[in-house]
Structure 1
Amino acid sequence: MRMRRPFRVLVTTLLAATAFSTTACGTDSGSGGASPDRAEAAGDPTPAAGAKGVPATLRFRGTTLDGEPFDGATLAGKPVALWFWAPWCGTCRGQAPQAAELARTYQGKVHVVGVAGLDATGAMKSFVSSRKVGGFPHVADEQGAVWKKFGITQQSSFVLLDGKGKVVHSGVPAGPGELDDLVAKLAG
């Protein structure tokens, strides 16, 4: 099976970062996801605006598919559901309606943010339009900085953070029911 070039680059980068992180640090936070120290170190080196008091997991910046600046610090104080997807991913296409429904159902209670990667911005915009998932923000993560920050190695993955920024789930949900249950629990 031939991997697309951007995916090979991301996988190679993630494997190298994981190897470095394991040998340099040798500890696991046990948080069920990215540790705040690892997450902050892997993200944008420029602190997010208003980073004081913002959990390390939310200290990242990017640009939305609309070309607007995105600051993860704006997510602080509420639970967050990050959906890591790629435009050519069949599973992502299948999960798009559920992601859109989660954003509608939990509007004002849980921030839902798409993190698009592994392709060019044009393909990402086309995906959002064709899959009708434009009701929530999508970060264009062409370089994979946010993917690396959260230790994501495959699409379609979700990272769920509680209102304090602690990762409570990271990975591929076992099915739509599990994702619904996890987000409902976050919303309280």
Structure 2
Amino acid sequence: MVVRRLSWLFLVAVLAVAGCGGSGGTPSTDADWPAGTPAGPPLEFTATTVDGEPFDGRSLAGKPAVLWFWAPWCPVCLQQAPGVREAFEQYGDQVAIVGVAGLDEAAAMPEFIRLAKVEAITNLSDETGEVWKRFGITSQSTFVLIDPAGTITFQGRLDADEVPARVAELLG
């Protein structure tokens, strides 16, 4: 337990030095990101929601999906939340929007969800970082947009006002 906490503390320190929401080596534009990079189909993963329910990534197949990788202590992530809410309100019946919380313990995640007012979207608890690793996420506040065929069309940081427009583009 102590080693795990020290590992997370080290990771938090590294991210703080790198800057919350920085690219962290993750391409930030469509031209920089080779679509379909995860090993195997992007939607072949399982996780648990913050509410403790099982989640299968394959349930997102056949329609566009947005994965929002956030951390409970990240102020940039909190600033992105209004854009995520707006995209969900406008397009939630056409696009699956899923938060993927990591870089902290599961106990810290519900408070962020409440503060960000993103209770309406599915939020995964990725305390061990398995989903983050699957998508090669190296910093919080990263979005992954996946088309209905299951191909990644964008991976990177978006400001709150960019999120609804990117989701609209995903719909074509």
Which TM-score band applies after superposition, normalised by the shorter structure?
0.7 to 0.9
Aligned to 2:61: 76
Task: After TM superposition, list the pairs within 5 Å mapping 1:97-176 onto structure 2.
Answer: 97-173=82-158, 175-176=159-160
Answering whether residue 79 of structure 2 is matched by residue 94 of structure 1, we say yes
**Percent of residue pairs identical:** 46
Q: CA offsets, 1:18-62, max 9 Å, x none?
A: xxxxxxxxxxxx8624525x2x3xxxxxxxxxxxxxxx1100000
Q: CA offsets, 1:95-118, max 9 Å, x none?
A: 112112211211221100000000
Aligned to 1:32: 34
Query: Cα offset for 1:170?
Result: 0.4
Q: CA offsets, 1:51-95, max 9 Å, x none?
A: xxxxx1100000001110000000000000000000000001111
Aligned to 1:187: 171
Structure 1 regions of 5+ residues with no counterpart? 12-29, 41-55
For 1:58, what is the secondary structure of its paired residue? coil
Aligned to 1:21: none
C-alpha distance in 2, partners of 1:134/1:102?
Answer: 14
Structure 1 or 2, whichever has the larger Rg, is 1
Contact 2:87 2:163 survives alignment (8 Å) = no
Task: After TM superposition, list the pairs within 5 Å mapping 1:3-18 onto structure 2.
Answer: 5-6=7-8, 8-9=10-11
Structure 2 regions of 5+ residues with no counterpart? 1-5, 15-31
**Number of matched pairs:** 149
Output the amino acid matched with 1:85. Answer: W
Aligned to 2:44: 59
C-alpha distance in 1, partners of 2:8/2:113?
Answer: 19
C-alpha distance in 2, partners of 1:146/1:106?
Answer: 24
CA pair 132-178 structure 1, distance change in 2 beyond 3 A:
closer
Contact 2:79 2:160 survives alignment (8 Å) = no
RMSD of the alignment, in Å? 2.0
Aligned to 2:70: 85
Contact 1:7 1:118 survives alignment (8 Å) = no
